Structure 1
């Protein structure tokens, strides 16, 4: 079953408590808390409050999105205080094609240490599928996971800026069943700066969501990159997403 939710960074101008209230009213069931701008490392009291607010609103915590290539004790303590089961990280700061051997093994070592550290907090580590990192394609992500070789490290997929259906289907086939969640959004020709309503890609997402749900495992479908970062877009895209999920 797919669990619909939203990433707080998609509504950067709003406080987390407001986002939680909006998400609950719209019919969403999960939240990803972004370190930037909503929960910086070390804000343990804030993390605990957010966890309570989510529980009261009936929202599951999908993950704590750090935006960082390394996990510090502060980040892990913050995720634990939040109650998130997963911490998202980036796989270095160079693409799989441009990274040299030294840079690659430094990133692999860093990710292995992240996975070991997170396991001590009973947290999984999700490597974000991002351009400009070692996890910039399904193939490079699988290679990276094999090289790190730690069961606590999992992939986290999002579509490229101008996705085509067949390559995205292939990505999911390669990464399943390890995927626990994906980000869902629509962009125009200018990429991440050109956000569209989710319904703009009705040719893409219903097929991918059905593929993700086919084996019956629980996974998260998280709204991100909302048009104008607005409450109206959250409402509209939630309606669209819930309709596609049936």
Structure 2
């Protein structure tokens, strides 16, 4: 397990500030977000940020694209542009969202459109040696463990995987059950500890449950990134403390 940071954690900071902060925290990677720091179609910027990341001894773990499967009207950029930017950035993986509807609100026609788009972009990315990863996220077709598994089984593509993060408002046991149900597809992990996005906690307060999650996730020994995402108060000092906790957890696994 390698440790990293999602750049969206500090949207107000410049790419160089984020790189230096990640290095100061002893992290190994950055997932660059497409919403602020690495805008699609700005290939020169993507190339520069990728080079700056590597020059500081870090790697680009992934490109957080915010592309929504089958959302043909809402996506600001087409996937071809996103893929090209990921190449310039040097990202081996692209993160996308499984549509824009909750699984409970999605009719079979919509689900089929998501499946077809997932296969399409997974094929395009595979041609460039880049993997595609859905986010395990509310208000999408991967908003429950059951819906996520059903979708992954239907897509059935060797170049499409799934991130994991703790689902809000469910028990630790329910989260562990999601890891067990989805383990065949799980890759990178978004790490945070909160009651909600607006009510965040120090990472050390979640030590007992997070160690349980990571032990379950790490059973197959696969290579993956633990990517810190959002910290209490968007505070740099809090981030550095949380990063040390994450280092400690990795040593305990």
Indicate the TM-score class for this superposition, using the shorter chain for normalisation.
over 0.9
1:143 aligned onto 2:134: no
Counterpart contact for 2:189–2:225, Cα < 8 Å: yes
- Mapped partners of 1:171, 1:197: distance in 2: 24
Aligned pairs (5 A) from 1:106-121: 106-121=113-128
Match of 1:225? 230
1:206 aligned onto 2:205: no
Aligned mate of 1:164, from 152, 156, 171: 171
Counterpart contact for 1:5–1:223, Cα < 8 Å: yes
Counterpart contact for 1:95–1:133, Cα < 8 Å: yes
- Mapped partners of 1:157, 1:38: distance in 2: 23
Match of 2:49? 50
- Mapped partners of 2:176, 2:59: distance in 1: 27
- Mapped partners of 2:107, 2:42: distance in 1: 36
1:199 shift after superposition: 1.4
Match of 1:23? 22
Q: Deviations over 1:211-235 (max 9, x none)?
A: 2223322211111121122211220
- Mapped partners of 1:105, 1:155: distance in 2: 18
Counterpart contact for 1:12–1:229, Cα < 8 Å: no
- 4+ residue runs over 6 A deviation: none
Counterpart contact for 2:67–2:79, Cα < 8 Å: no
What is the total number of aligned residue pairs between the two structures? 243
TM-score (norm 1): 0.94
Aligned pairs (5 A) from 1:64-83: 64-70=63-69, 71-83=78-90
1:106 is paired with a residue whose SS is helix
Counterpart contact for 2:94–2:131, Cα < 8 Å: yes
Match of 1:14? 13
1:46 shift after superposition: 1.1
- Mapped partners of 2:214, 2:164: distance in 1: 12
Q: Deviations over 1:178-221 (max 9, x none)?
A: 32211010112xx1121221112123111112222233222111
Match of 1:240? 245
1:163 shift after superposition: 4.6
Which has the larger displacement, 78-87 or 105-114?
A: 105-114
- Mapped partners of 1:98, 1:36: distance in 2: 26
Counterpart contact for 1:182–1:221, Cα < 8 Å: yes
Note the residue ranges of structure 1 that are not aligned, 5 or more in a row. Answer: none
Counterpart contact for 1:162–1:187, Cα < 8 Å: no
- Mapped partners of 2:250, 2:169: distance in 1: 22
- Mapped partners of 1:166, 1:181: distance in 2: 20
Match of 1:92? 99
1:82 shift after superposition: 0.6
2:216 is paired with a residue whose SS is helix
Which has the larger displacement, 175-184 or 25-34?
A: 175-184
